[in-house]
Structure 1
Amino acid sequence: MKEKPKILVVGAGYAGIAFLKSLDEECFRLGDFTIINKNSYHYHSTMLHKVATAENSGKIMFDLREFLHPEIKIIQQLVLDIDEENHTVTTEFSKFKYDYLICAAGFEKESFNLKGIENAVFIDSYIQASRICEIIKDKFTKALENGTGLSIAVCGSGLTGIEFSASCANMLKKKLEFYRQDSSKFDKFSVNLISSTPRLLTFFSEKISQKILKNLTKLGVKVTHNTRISSLEKYRVNFQNGGYLDADIIVWTAGVRGASVVSQSYIESERGRVKVDSKLKTFDHENVFCIGDVSAVSDGNGGFYPPTAQIACEQGEFLAKEFKAMLENKDFKEEFKFKSHGVICSIGHSYAVANVLGFEMSGVVPAFLKTMVEKKWNMKLLGLKGLIL
């Protein structure tokens, strides 16, 4: 009997899971599938800011065995090296051979070699987000006991920075109200969002940017525009213009890059993301595919699509169709083409702004749409059960 091809998936983020969840029974009959991930679970990476602020928003983390096909082998180990020439992935404990490799290792923090970056915390994993939550709770408690305040600096005004700032400000307000603190003390507990741009989320219109600013301010977030950071100290953010901001907690949300275990193996890379062709293959090896945050997909205009959960899911689904055809020895002429359906940014629990299919909107409707996007992914994992989680 002919041996099944060994198909190895590295990473259990949106891309890797979308690939595995889009395979049918025939694929598992014809191929031997294994996933390697440092954790035994998958989580909503787009919801990590809620983990960091203890915002109650349904299930965020899922055990891999809870939803993956029983034929898929799960290896919980940290990947240390990928050897494409010898078709081998080395982990902290073992070596694994493959016939086809799917790199979906996700993202890691982008520090831009900033001096003092070790003084910041990062929302780059479920564990880190949980740690930030505990740090905030601990410092909040001590601030109440000592009669002092609490200043949180958020460095970076992208989607994560804005969503975390809003959620964090909400959390602080609720905690102050719970402990029946006088409203005059609220100003001592601040969230400061530092933005290098003249306005927030410049891919939105000026009108939407102003709405974002207005609602952040309403929540108590203090926004600083047009300010670049020169260095970080333990309790201080230094600016290039000579100013500074004292802070009890510094949260870095100024960027991410593809996982270095993948990107360091390739010459053809773009900010830690490996360039891929229209079949999502790397240009160096026919049997290696990159999807999700470690992949750089040409946008046809000389640039690359930004790494988002949306494109990661579509890559995973496309690659599943490609592998099904390959395992069944059928031609697969389709090429990966991406067209964004839009972007949604939540500002608090019941307000969001969005650009959906070219139409901008704000308020409760885009907030509801974002919740539905999250529920849709839950259903991808668990079926109808995911709708009520």
Structure 2
Amino acid sequence: MKRKKIIVIGAGYAGIAFLKSLDEECFRLGDFTIINKNSYHYHSTMLHKVATAEKSGKIMFDLREFLHPEIKIIQQSVTDIDEKNHIVTTEFGTFNYDYLVVAAGFEKESFNLKGIENAMFIDSYIQSGRIAEVIKRKFDKAVESGAGLNIAVCGGGLTGIEFAASCANMLKNKCEFHRLSSDLAAKFNVHLISSTPRLLTFFSEKLSKKTADKLENLGVKIMHNTRISSLEKGRVNFNEGGLDADLIVWTAGVKGASIVSDSDVENERGRVKVDPKLHAPDSTDRFYIGDVSAVSDGKGGFYPPTAQIACEQGAYLAREFKAILTNSAFDEPFKFKSNGVICSIGHTYATAQILGFEMAGFLPSILKTMVEKKWNVKLLGLKGAFL
């Protein structure tokens, strides 16, 4: 019997969780191919650490290091999806499929802001590494000139907060290593610009305040209720006033990959509203998971695209494909219940809302590390816990 051709687009949490959850029977019955522009997978929730060159375990993994040997790996960028003829087009060729799993991930969301080209983005492993290089170069120049360094972080969400905290720690350590005077060290600052009246509005006011207090203790200068009107080279403009900055890092939002937002399939900001079995509208052979999917929360809205829901979608879809490939009935709809949210603020402190409980301090930071290690184990087995 001819094996069904299954193509997976994207090697983020969703696509990898799907492939890693398949069993041997699935590989015997199905011909699986993953198409990704890079030859590796990375912890996207840890990119803020890459952007500050923070050493905190293994973040990037070569795909061949952990994927089943039956899976074909195509390192190319997808340029078009022809749903009618079941063809995926890349920069170098075309590929036919029987089933398509689109897990293409996220891209930066600029909201058409004037001057956005003057900012850097934490939207990929490579871009995050470039931020680290720029910070190092600008820091050395600032020490030599004695002018100091202002870093503006635009966006008070999880990524912005975690990057600002890591950045503040990094600057403090660099200043101490170079034995800068207190007067000169005081000229090295991180500014976190948030459009909301308080950080992480899905937290209680008490926990939100603890988050802000810890950031300020690290030296981060928080600007609440501040709307950015435009960016210039070396300056962030607000509706009233502005801030001079030697480096502007944009963390104010993401959207689904452009291969989805630019396609004919109905979507909103690159996210496709999927049915209870994660199918695309009016389709039984195309699935959208991760950042490019919009899953109803049953309350008139959609769940936010997090690593947690992406991993659960991938595991669920593997069970669905087991049924598809074995011609078995599958009536289980995808259901999601969030275990909570953890926000790292430095190396040993985090704020969190977990299973209805709120906490702050060392314990949630340990839990965050355990979540990261759990994913390593999913990829590499027991040895992943020690990376």
Short-chain TM bin: over 0.9
Q: Which amino acid aligns with 1:27?
A: C
The residue that corresponds to 1:234 in the other structure is 233
| Contact 1:266–1:274 (CA under 8 A) maintained in structure 2 | no
| Contact 2:260–2:267 (CA under 8 A) maintained in structure 1 | no
| Contact 1:123–1:129 (CA under 8 A) maintained in structure 2 | yes
The residue that corresponds to 1:282 in the other structure is 280
TM superposition shift of 1:183: 1.9
Q: Distance in 2 between matches of 1:83 and 1:123?
A: 30
Q: Which runs of 5+ in 1 are unaligned?
A: none
The DSSP-based 3-state class of the residue aligned with 1:269 is: coil
TM superposition shift of 1:267: 4.5
Q: Distance in 2 between matches of 1:215 and 1:13?
A: 31
Q: Distance in 2 between matches of 1:254 and 1:36?
A: 28
The residue that corresponds to 1:133 in the other structure is 132
The residue that corresponds to 2:111 in the other structure is 112
Q: Which moved more, 1:151-160 or 1:179-188?
A: 179-188
Report Cα offsets for 1:178-208 as digits up to 9, x if no partner: 1111122222000000000000000001111
Report Cα offsets for 1:51-95 as digits up to 9, x if no partner: 000111000000000000000000000111111011111111010
2:331 is equivalent to residue 333 of structure 1? yes
TM superposition shift of 1:325: 0.8
The residue that corresponds to 1:21 in the other structure is 20
The DSSP-based 3-state class of the residue aligned with 2:263 is: coil
Q: Which runs of 5+ in 2 are unaligned?
A: none
The residue that corresponds to 1:182 in the other structure is 181
2:210 is equivalent to residue 220 of structure 1? no
Q: Which amino acid aligns with 1:118?
A: E
Q: Which moved more, 1:116-125 or 1:182-191?
A: 182-191
2:353 is equivalent to residue 355 of structure 1? yes
Report Cα offsets for 1:321-360 as digits up to 9, x if no partner: 0000110110000000100000000000000000000000
Q: Distance in 1 between matches of 2:260 and 2:27?
A: 26
| Contact 1:117–1:232 (CA under 8 A) maintained in structure 2 | yes
The residue that corresponds to 2:362 in the other structure is 364
The DSSP-based 3-state class of the residue aligned with 2:255 is: strand
TM superposition shift of 1:260: 1.1
Rate the CA distance shift 1:333–1:99 in 2: closer, same or farther, 3 A.
Answer: same
The residue that corresponds to 1:311 in the other structure is 309
Q: Which moved more, 1:22-31 or 1:174-183?
A: 174-183
Q: Which amino acid aligns with 1:285?
A: S
TM superposition shift of 1:8: 0.1
Q: Which amino acid aligns with 1:166?
A: A
Rate the CA distance shift 1:118–1:233 in 2: closer, same or farther, 3 A.
Answer: same
Q: Distance in 2 between matches of 1:271 and 1:302?
A: 18
Q: Distance in 1 between matches of 2:103 and 2:264?
A: 15
The residue that corresponds to 1:263 in the other structure is 261
How does the TM-score come out when normalised to structure 2?
Answer: 0.99
2:371 is equivalent to residue 376 of structure 1? no
How does the TM-score come out when normalised to structure 1?
Answer: 0.99
| Contact 2:19–2:67 (CA under 8 A) maintained in structure 1 | yes
Q: Distance in 2 between matches of 1:151 and 1:383?
A: 42
* CA RMSD after TM alignment: 0.7
TM superposition shift of 1:272: 1.7
Report Cα offsets for 1:208-235 as digits up to 9, x if no partner: 1111111100101000000100000011
> In the comparison of the two structures, how many residue pairs are matched?
387
Alignment of 1:95-106 (within 5 A): 95-106=94-105
Q: Distance in 2 between matches of 1:263 and 1:316?
A: 21
Report Cα offsets for 1:133-164 as digits up to 9, x if no partner: 00000000000111111000000000000000
The DSSP-based 3-state class of the residue aligned with 1:270 is: coil
The residue that corresponds to 2:384 in the other structure is 386
The residue that corresponds to 1:85 in the other structure is 84
Q: Which amino acid aligns with 2:260?
A: V
**Regions of 4+ moved over 3 Å:** none
The residue that corresponds to 1:300 in the other structure is 298
The DSSP-based 3-state class of the residue aligned with 2:221 is: strand
Percent identical residues: 76
